[in-house]
Amino acid sequence: MKKRNMMLFGVLAAALAATGCGAKENTETPETVGEELTAELPEEELDTEDYEEDTLSGTDLSYLEWLPEGVEQKQSEAAANEDIKNIIAQYYEIPEDAWEETRYYYNYVDLNEDGTEEAFVTVLGSWVGGSGGLSALWIDMEDLSVIQAFTQMDTPVIVSDEMTDGYHGLILRQYGDGDAEGILLTNKNGVYTNVSDAAPVESLEEVTGTAILCNDLAGDLETGNYLTLAD
């Protein structure tokens, strides 16, 4: 009897070891471990689109989407230019009390490759605005004169690598009836085509050159990141 009791005791001890201390160390099944790791993760996955928008500080770059891949993008010069300011004020006869509300953007260009520095300027404000688009000036920076004035402009403007009659072509977007199309301004005898008379560009895929005035005009108005005649 004593020998039988000891055998029963040994079996009972082995059973307790299997279900007691040893089992306590392995209570976390693979499923349980997976649940704990999952609980540490955010409930929602990161939205890639939201991340990209945050990275860009919410900047809307859709106005640049039409530019071909072979075109370099260039923003306006950041420094105020006294000569350009004076020419704008004189050409459009803008009174001094309207200088602070008159914005301008400019880039240096050489549209006929003669080595003479020029500037292409777009101007915004109640004294120069219109329902058909922006006003712009092509300025000779050596003799400080207006070579040509433009209306119904839109930015950015592509200074095409292709030249006609010794001048780079200018390509921009024209909007009408809800649609937009690329148009080409060519130069003849030193004068560019009017925007309203410009021919449409059949395809922009092969266009190369430099897009100037690639600024977000609407966004700049909200942030105050622009030049005025009062600066």
Q: What number is the average pLDDT over the span 63-87?
A: 96
Q: What number is the average pLDDT over the span 161-168?
A: 97
Residue 220: both structure tokens together: 């700049």
Domain boundaries, the chain: 2-40, 67-228
CB 167 within 8 A of CB 187: yes
pLDDT confidence bin for 176, thresholds 50/70/90: low
At residue 129, the pLDDT reads 72
Other C-beta atoms lying within 10 Å of the C-beta of residue 85? 21
At residue 178, the pLDDT reads 59
Residue 41 scores a pLDDT above 60: no
Helix (H, G, I), strand (E, B) or coil at 114: coil
pLDDT confidence bin for 18, thresholds 50/70/90: very low
pLDDT confidence bin for 59, thresholds 50/70/90: low
More confident residue, 59 or 118: 118
pLDDT-wise least confident of 25-29, 97-101, 167-171: 25-29
In 3D, which of 141, 138, 117, 113 has the Cα closest to residue 192? Answer: 138
Q: How, if at all, do strands 179-185 and 134-140 pair? A: unpaired
Residue 228 bridge partners (DSSP): 103
Those residues whose C-beta lies under 8 Å from the C-beta of residue 110, and which sit 6 or more positions away, are 116, 117, 118
Apex CA 199: angle with CA 67 and CA 141, to 5°? Answer: 70
